[in-house]
Each structure stands twice: as structure tokens, then as C-alpha cells.
Amino acid sequence: MIATIQYNSKKYQIDLTQALDISIPMRASKSNVNAWYLEEPKIEPVKDGEWVATVKDGACINFNNIYFNPHSHGTHTECVGHITETVHSINQNLKQFFFLAEVITVAPEKLKGDFVISKKQIQFALGNKKRDAVVLRTIPNMTDKLSKQYSNTNPTYLLEEVAIYLREKGVNHLLVDLPSVDKERDDCELLAHNAFWNTKGTLRMDATITEFIFVPNSIEDGTYFLNLQIAPFENDATPSKPVLFKILE
């Protein structure tokens, strides 16, 4: 199914049957991707006395409770409410779901014992392109990102200068294959989060950060349309399913 999208006075065509899912599924397993020192998510049938809500145990339905943290247990999209006293809702502030996006791949640099992403690297990868969304893939890009346990590992993070650069370039949606854009332990400075959402100026209420994506190596760097699908949670963050569509020639 070919769709034509008119975007910023230009027309693009995409094939809606060829979606490229860059989310990480959530599983009730210790091998589920994880960060921030929590146990794995749980998906358990409702129990009422002897009654267990699974068809295999004699019920007519499967009826599960799910216990998880969106920031810790998989692909999630967050808004400025993640770091403000007022807990702004992602569901209230993200009202557009299709964006022109650029997929870029960057090899982290070593800085004072940490692995970081620098402004210079992002500038080189983006050039003079103007995009609403940037999808950042880090290398090495192995499938262990689907199950990695990140707590106490000091993962790669973005320098504050990256977030400032992207904000000033007009990027409203930043997607990364990391547990956070910031350092695991930074005394709650959250430099990249604060810079991207402009907490020292006018808050960027409609800007989002999506963490814990996975961009397979089969997806080439370049320009795509991004469909940023979220679950309608009234919370600072929600599980999400970002999907890319190739732009047809």
C-alpha cells in the first residue's frame, strides 16, 4: 500500500506494508533488557483463590497483570515531565506521530574513562540536513542490545553539547539505542535531558526523547519517515513502538 505524504510543502511516498520496527519487545524474563537497578518485568495471570486466569488452567480467557517500569524495561518515549516538578504527560504533549527522520550511526569516543557521543560526531553525521527526528545507532551494534543488563555498567551517553546542538538545529525527537541520553551516575545533573528540553528557557513541551531502541544493521543510514507510536499513558513516559518507513524514489 503506497501512501503519499505532503510534508513541509514537499511530497513523499512510502510503502505502508514495509514498516521497519526499531522497538525492543518487553518480555517477562531476566533476559529482558534492563537498567536502573530494577528486577525484570512481570506478566502474571490474575488469581482469585483457586481460580487462575489462563486457558491452560481451565479459565475461558488469558487475563494478565503486567508490572514494569517504562524507563527500565524497554523502548519508551518521554517528555519534559520526566525531569520537571510538574509531571507533564507524554500523552497530552505528543500530538503528531509522523516525522521526517535521519538515521545516523556513530562510534562512541573515549573521554575520561567514559564512552561518549560528541557534537562533532553528530555534526559530521547530519551535515546540513534539517530533520524533525534523529535516530541514533551506536556501534558496535550487536543483538545483545535486546537483552543487555545495563545497571552499574556506565553505558555510553551524550555530551551536553550534543543536546544543545540538536535543539538549536530544530530536532524535536531524539531516539537512541541507549538506556539514557545521560550518564548513569551524574549526581542528577541530567545535562543532556535538560539541554534538549531547554529547562533554563522556554520548555520544549512537544519534544521527546526515546530510549532503548534497536536499529538492525539491515537498516541503512539515511532519511526515513518515522511513525512514533505510543501507548496512551498519562505519565512522563510510556512504552512506545517507533517504526521507520523508507522513502520511495
Higher pLDDT, 249 or 139: 139
Is pTM beyond 0.95 here?
A: yes
Residue percentage of the chain with pLDDT more than 90: 97
Asked if residue 62 is part of any domain, the answer here is no
Residue 52 falls inside a structural domain: no
Report which residue type is found at 59.
Answer: A
Residue 63 lies in a domain: no
At 7, is the pLDDT very low, low, confident or very high (cuts 50, 70, 90)? Answer: confident
pLDDT of residue 231: 97
- Which residues contact residue 5 at a Cβ distance below 8 angstroms, ignoring those fewer than 6 apart? 11, 12, 13, 14, 98, 225
Dihedral angle over CA of 42, 48, 52, 58, nearest 10? -160
Residue 46 placed within a domain: no
User: Is 148 in a helix, a strand, or coil?
Assistant: coil
Averaged pLDDT of the chain = 97
Cα 58 from chain centroid (whole Å): 39
Over residues 200-246, the pLDDT tens digits come to 999 999 999 999 999 999 999 999 999 999 999 999 999 999 999 99
| CATH number of the domain to which 137 belongs | 3.50.30.50
Q: Residue 126's domain spans which residues? A: 2-27+69-246
212 or 9: which carries more pLDDT confidence? 212
Check pLDDT > 80 for residue 249: no
Domain count within the chain = 1
Q: Residue 78 pLDDT > 90, yes or no?
A: yes
42 in a domain, yes or no? no
Task: Let me know if residue 37 belongs to a domain.
Answer: no
Q: pLDDT for 87-122, tens place per residue?
A: 999 999 999 999 999 999 999 999 999 999 999 999
pLDDT tens digit sequence for 123-141: 999 999 999 999 999 999 9
pLDDT at 9: 85
Residue 57 covered by a domain: no
47 inside domain: no
